[in-house]
Structure 1
């Protein structure tokens, strides 16, 4: 019958998107490399042609494919430091969760001249140039700064920046990642593996050996809906000197594996 379905391979489902260094393409796994909750992942191929025309009406008599741009777009919902770095066109693969936390041991008095020293309950896990958040309770009273020196014996840190307000003892001190926004630093080429499920449970996999994140940084604090990072991957062809060139030389920019 015309229009009758032949299989159950209908496209309705979600995908796991894993991103990492080019050399790790075949080692990418959900535990280490997944960017988390992703909606509306879409891969597109956009061929371009150069046409040869003839006659007064310039009718096309021949055409040659001269381009085939491949892009991937998605909405990433987890605002991790790694995802934010990728979205800001930086190397998120080198960032690890900043899970070192302690408390302020001794209260800091207000000082109109400025104070730059914090006495902490512990300094384990902290190193010079780490960035800190000092939060009073669950309020928005947050002091931040970069560590310029550490005294392990006194369990104190000196910040590169001074502050003039008081901070109570017991305030939560957390090491945080500093993500540059608007940086002119070039993002290294990355690789991605995407695994999605069709409506019947079968798996479709995608291997992208070379990409850069060209769009997606968006930090919007709003109350009508959850924010997301509208990531865009621009996919490029490999050169002969890059990893896995032999596997992709005759396939193009990516490989789609489906049953």
Structure 2
């Protein structure tokens, strides 16, 4: 039969994308490094050639590959602090979900620049905190200037009186529009074919050069449209000898 299949290596499946530091490439794992739900992962190679022609009809007689751009794109759906930092071209590996919170043990007055809390453990000078005044959108943001025994001091005075029990939570502060260069990262992608077999892509040196998009919509789930830029290894890179002359490596059982 024309076009008859020879294998079950059909491309229909999902992928796990893991990101970490370059020296962690071979140890990247879903528990510590996965960016979560990812759809439509795609990696492409775009070779370019310089042709030598002859005659008035410019017939091609020779060709040399003069470039080979590798790109990867995907849609990341989990808006964690780490994923958002990566999408902004920043170092995100150290960010984790914040669980540090406390509450006021006594009422605070308008114009107060400090409050008494149940427990100051986990808070530090320079942290940004969110003060939840009842309603879910009634949040005051303050930067901590001092942390003492059950006392937090802020960079700005409170705008109104707050009752005892008001929640104070530590937050991750992520710069938008920063000019800071993202360090080089490594990525490992494990994707499954339609028959359940795995393909692994090792990316030893990348940067995330596009991907920040944050929209609060009611029509559908928003996503971070990540784009990876790939780089060649240099002698000082961790796995230079293994990836010399290539920007990624595909491992397949098929």
Instruction: Please report the TM-score for the alignment, with normalisation by the length of structure 1.
Output: 0.94
Which of 182, 201, 211 is the matching residue for 1:187?
182
CA–CA separation in structure 2 for the residues paired with 1:168 and 1:48? 66
Alignment of 1:211 with 2:206, yes or no, is yes
Deviation of 1:138 after TM superposition, in Å, equals 4.4
CA–CA separation in structure 2 for the residues paired with 1:208 and 1:169? 52
Deviation of 1:237 after TM superposition, in Å, equals 1.0
Q: Which residue of 1 aligns with 2:102?
A: 102
Relative to structure 2, which stretch is displaced further, 115-124 or 52-61?
Answer: 52-61
CA–CA separation in structure 2 for the residues paired with 1:84 and 1:78? 9
Q: Is the 8 A contact 2:108 2:163 kept in 1?
A: yes
Give runs of aligned pairs for residues 210-229 of structure 1, distance below 5 A.
210-229=205-224
Q: Which residue of 1 aligns with 2:113?
A: 116
Deviation of 1:23 after TM superposition, in Å, equals 0.7
Give runs of aligned pairs for residues 1-259 of structure 1, distance below 5 A.
1-110=1-110, 114-152=111-149, 155-250=150-245, 252-259=246-253
Structure 1: gaps spanning 5 or more residues: none
CA–CA separation in structure 2 for the residues paired with 1:106 and 1:225? 42
Relative to structure 2, which stretch is displaced further, 115-124 or 162-171?
Answer: 162-171
Deviation of 1:176 after TM superposition, in Å, equals 0.6
Show CA shifts across 1:56-111 (max 9, x none): 2333222111111111100000000000000010000122222111112222223x
CA RMSD after TM alignment = 1.2
CA–CA separation in structure 1 for the residues paired with 2:56 and 2:162? 81
Look up the SS of the partner of 1:36 in the other structure: coil
Relative to structure 2, which stretch is displaced further, 51-60 or 34-43?
Answer: 51-60
Deviation of 1:134 after TM superposition, in Å, equals 1.0
Structure 2: gaps spanning 5 or more residues: none
CA–CA separation in structure 2 for the residues paired with 1:71 and 1:167? 52
CA–CA separation in structure 1 for the residues paired with 2:12 and 2:156? 51
Q: Is the 8 A contact 2:109 2:158 kept in 1?
A: no
Instruction: Please report the TM-score for the alignment, with normalisation by the length of structure 2.
Output: 0.96
Deviation of 1:115 after TM superposition, in Å, equals 2.7
Relative to structure 2, which stretch is displaced further, 118-127 or 66-75?
Answer: 118-127
CA–CA separation in structure 1 for the residues paired with 2:249 and 2:156? 50
